Amino acid sequence: MDGRRRVPRTDTVLAAPELVAAQGRLGRAAVKEAVAAAQRRVRHGELSPDDVVRAAVAALPARAAALRPVINATGVLLHTNLGRAPLSAAAIEAVTAAAGAADVEFDLATGRRARRGRDALDALARAVPAAEDAHVVNNNAAALVLAAAALARGREIVVSRGELVEIGDGFRIPDLLVSTGARLREVGTTNRTSREDYAAALGPDTGFVLKVHPSNYRIEGFTGAAGIAELAGLGVPVVADVGSGLLRPEPLLPDEPDAATALGSGADLVTASGDKLLGGPQAGLLLGRRDLVERCRRHPLARALRVDKLTLAALEATLRGPATPVDEALRADPEELAARAAALAGTLARAGLDARAVPSAAAVGGGGAPGVTLPSAAVSLPVRLAAPLRTGEPPVVGRIEGGRLLLDLRAVPAARDGDVARAALAAHAAPEGE
């Protein structure tokens, strides 16, 4: 009998233990689609009827979501395209715990409604005692937009021409601010802006003075800028966008602005990112004077920009928990990185790969610490391995430099070195073109 006539029934195939388990993980629709594809292959004579279950299982994705965990061997600690800060184990555990029903806006003791995210906000207040109050939105751009909408709609925001930056993917600070109904009053020049420039621009229509951290670029040479302390006595609120998310000074990045210092210097409101140097989930933080934070919180736009329970849980765990992966990568010992690279390159070389341990230069990324290089170490491999490493399991993403593929270990946890080695060996064994 023609085997194509013996196509197994769909319900019979779906009852196979492997596919029953897959339905619990991926959903019935995805599994049924894989079964239907295997049945079509039988009808076309490409597959034996006995192999339908095996083929369906092989075609299924590893997880329901298409996003894949990646090993970041680029040497950029906060790689925007790779999701910026990896969460700590404590934050991941907190997200899992909050994934079901959770007391995000409910007081279990009284049985009444409670302030949303109160525990995360308390953790944030403890982390930055200089802030009278705090609020959290879904990213730093949202924090700045909310501040502009609440404090300067129909009024002027005074800002230096040298700080009208583009923040990535074509989004520009001026466009974001104007979209709220505020007007920009540009002062100074690209390279020099003084306190007097700001003072001359103030008037009855001034909503606030804005200081923006330039993030991922530097201006050098004949330059000058007015600091927050100089602007604090002008008689109008000073809003400081510190960008990269440092809450306190970081000795390893002495030129990177932080929230505590900005507030201590006289800023009335500070905005910052949660998923950069803070090492937490994507979030925008507003910290500062209680009355200004409350105006932002009560603005109608705040509802559209609020974060969910998973973000609140991850943020609180990041603030209260142990060192984050970003902290560990930032403080990695260059000598230990070199030793790891040598060991990894040796393992790969013994297996026949052209692998070498080489010095490398890592960067903070995510707009943080522009121009700062972090001494690192990498495994240098033939560039042909870049694509199979990116598409392997797990995907390993490096960088191309000098005609070689570099796997920089600064942002790779030491516990993942074995995974990197296995991925490189698999990429080496893959046929050309795969």
CATH number of the domain enclosing 365: 3.90.1150.180
Sheet with 399-401, strands from edge to edge, namely: 76-78, 356-365, 374-382, 404-408, 399-401
Q: Is residue 65 part of a domain?
A: no
Q: Is residue 369 part of a domain?
A: yes
The vertex-370 CA angle with 70 and 198, nearest 5°, equals 130
Q: Are residues 277 and 332 in the same domain?
A: no
Strands (E), 152-257: 156-160, 166-168, 171-172, 183-187, 206-212, 238-243
Q: Is residue 434 part of a domain?
A: no
How many Å separate Cα 220 from the centre of its chain?
A: 28
Instruction: Report the 10 Å Cβ neighbour count for 372.
Output: 16
Concatenated DSSP letters for 315-343?
Answer: HHHHHHSS--HHHHHHT--HHHHHHHHHH
Q: Please count the residues of the chain.
A: 434
Expressed as residue numbers, the domain containing 339 is: 71-81+328-429
Q: What is the mean pLDDT of residues 358-364?
A: 97
What distances in angstroms separate CA 66 from CA 26, 60, 70, 319, 427, one per listed residue? Answer: 11, 12, 12, 29, 22
pTM tops 0.75, yes or no: yes
Q: Is residue 64 part of a domain?
A: no
Contacts of 250 (CB under 8 A, 6+ apart): 256, 258, 277, 330
271: pLDDT strictly greater than 50: yes
Q: Is residue 307 part of a domain?
A: yes
Q: Is residue 66 part of a domain?
A: no
Select from 271, 304, 322 the last residue of a domain: 322
Q: Are residues 124 and 215 in the same domain?
A: yes
Select from 269, 287, 322 the last residue of a domain: 322
Q: What is the mean pLDDT of residues 162-166?
A: 83
Q: Are residues 282 and 370 in the same domain?
A: no
Q: What's residue 1's pLDDT?
A: 47
* pLDDT tens readout for residues 312-342: 999 999 999 999 999 999 999 999 999 999 9
Q: Are residues 216 and 293 in the same domain?
A: yes
Q: Is residue 341 part of a domain?
A: yes
Instruction: Report the 10 Å Cβ neighbour count for 196.
Output: 12
Domain total of the chain = 3
Instruction: Report the 10 Å Cβ neighbour count for 199.
Output: 18
Chain-wide mean pLDDT for the chain? 93
Q: Are residues 49 and 103 in the same domain?
A: no
Select from 297, 322, 347 the last residue of a domain: 322
Q: Are 285 and 136 in contact (CB under 8 A)?
A: yes
Q: Is residue 261 part of a domain?
A: yes
Looking at per-residue pLDDT, the higher value among 369 and 75 belongs to: 75
Q: How confident is the model at residue 243 (pLDDT cuts 50, 70, 90)?
A: confident
Q: Which H or E element spans position 396?
A: strand 396-397
